[in-house]
């Protein structure tokens, strides 16, 4: 009987030791991820290139929202791409890019809706409506598991509304692919809504004909020197 108790005690002790090892490994992993996140955010601030010296009728932006509620380190937004604080996003002089009569298309997730409206107003636009991207793929969430994102529309001045034949449905169903990447179909939707207008995408991921681009991903920077800077700093 004593041998049995000894064995159980040894097993309990071994289990505790294993749990401590796992806990330490998780803590080390989280520390490394946090350090990498801070490093990425500092690089992002250092690499902000000047905005173009011109004005646009259409501004399209997917802000790099910062989230603070993730409990799983391997799925945190900041581990997928660098993020910015709300005040830093609001301070970007995006309003300087807007023509007197212009439209802002701004992406937001449900938890960021209030902040998105703050950003929209900070850029000098008035909220008018929004569309919904149905991702056809369930995601994370503490109340509802998210399956959609919002594309807010803000208006400045009196740019005419799209012609009836060019107005899309308010819900667009396209299966989500790469993390945070928005479907190319939304470029086509905006182009159809507002043909023959000047357009720029902020925090762009691609170069697209008919659009100017300002962002941090290769191929979307506004001049060769920024592409070089991206390669030298971002990929380290």
For residue 222, the model assigns a pLDDT of 41
Query: How far apart (Å, rounded) are the C-alpha atoms in residues 14 and 23?
Result: 14
- Output the pLDDT for position 74: 43
| pLDDT for position 132 | 97
Q: How far apart are the first and last CA of the chain?
A: 61
Contact 84, 202 (CB under 8 A): no
Look at residue 52 in the predicted model and tell me its pLDDT: 86
CA 148 to chain centre: 14
Q: What is the pLDDT of residue 69?
A: 56
The domain 47-234 belongs to what CATH superfamily?
A: Vaccinia Virus protein VP39 (3.40.50.150)
Tell me the DSSP string of 159-217.
Answer: PPPPPGGGPPPSEEE----STTPPPTHHHHHHHHHSTT--EEEET-SS--TT-EEE-SS
Domain-by-domain residue ranges, the chain? 47-234
pLDDT along the chain (236 residues), means of 10: 61 70 63 53 61 93 80 43 83 95 97 97 98 92 92 98 97 83 93 97 86 68 41 42
pLDDT at 198 (0 to 100): 97
Check residue 84 and give its pLDDT: 84
The pLDDT score that the predictor gives to residue 44 is: 56
Distance CA 236, CA 75 (A): 22
Q: What is the pTM of this model?
A: 0.72
């Amino acid at each position: 009987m004593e041998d049995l108790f000894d064995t159980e005690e040894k097993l309990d002790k071994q289990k505790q030791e294993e749990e401590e090892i796992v806990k330490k490994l998780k803590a080390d992993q989280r520390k490394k991820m946090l350090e990498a996140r801070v490093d990425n955010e500092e690089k992002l601030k250092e690499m902000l290139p000047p905005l173009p010296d011109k004005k646009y009728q259409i501004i399209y932006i997917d802000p790099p929202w910062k989230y603070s509620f993730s409990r799983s380190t391997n799925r945190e937004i900041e581990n997928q791409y660098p993020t910015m604080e709300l005040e830093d996003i609001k301070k970007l002089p995006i309003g300087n890019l807007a023509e007197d009569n212009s439209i802002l298309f701004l992406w937001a997730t449900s938890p960021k809706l209030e902040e998105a409206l703050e950003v929209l107003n900070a850029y000098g636009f008035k909220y008018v409506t929004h569309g919904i991207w149905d991702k056809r793929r369930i995601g994370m969430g503490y109340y509802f598991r998210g399956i959609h994102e919002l594309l807010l529309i803000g208006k400045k001045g009196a740019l005419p509304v799209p012609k009836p034949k060019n107005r899309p449905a308010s819900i667009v169903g396209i299966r989500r692919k790469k993390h945070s990447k928005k479907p190319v179909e939304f470029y086509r939707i905006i182009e159809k809504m507002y043909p023959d207008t000047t357009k720029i995408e902020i925090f762009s991921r691609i170069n697209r004909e008919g659009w100017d681009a300002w962002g941090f991903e290769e191929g979307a920077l506004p001049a060769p020197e920024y592409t070089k800077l991206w390669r030298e700093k971002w990929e380290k």
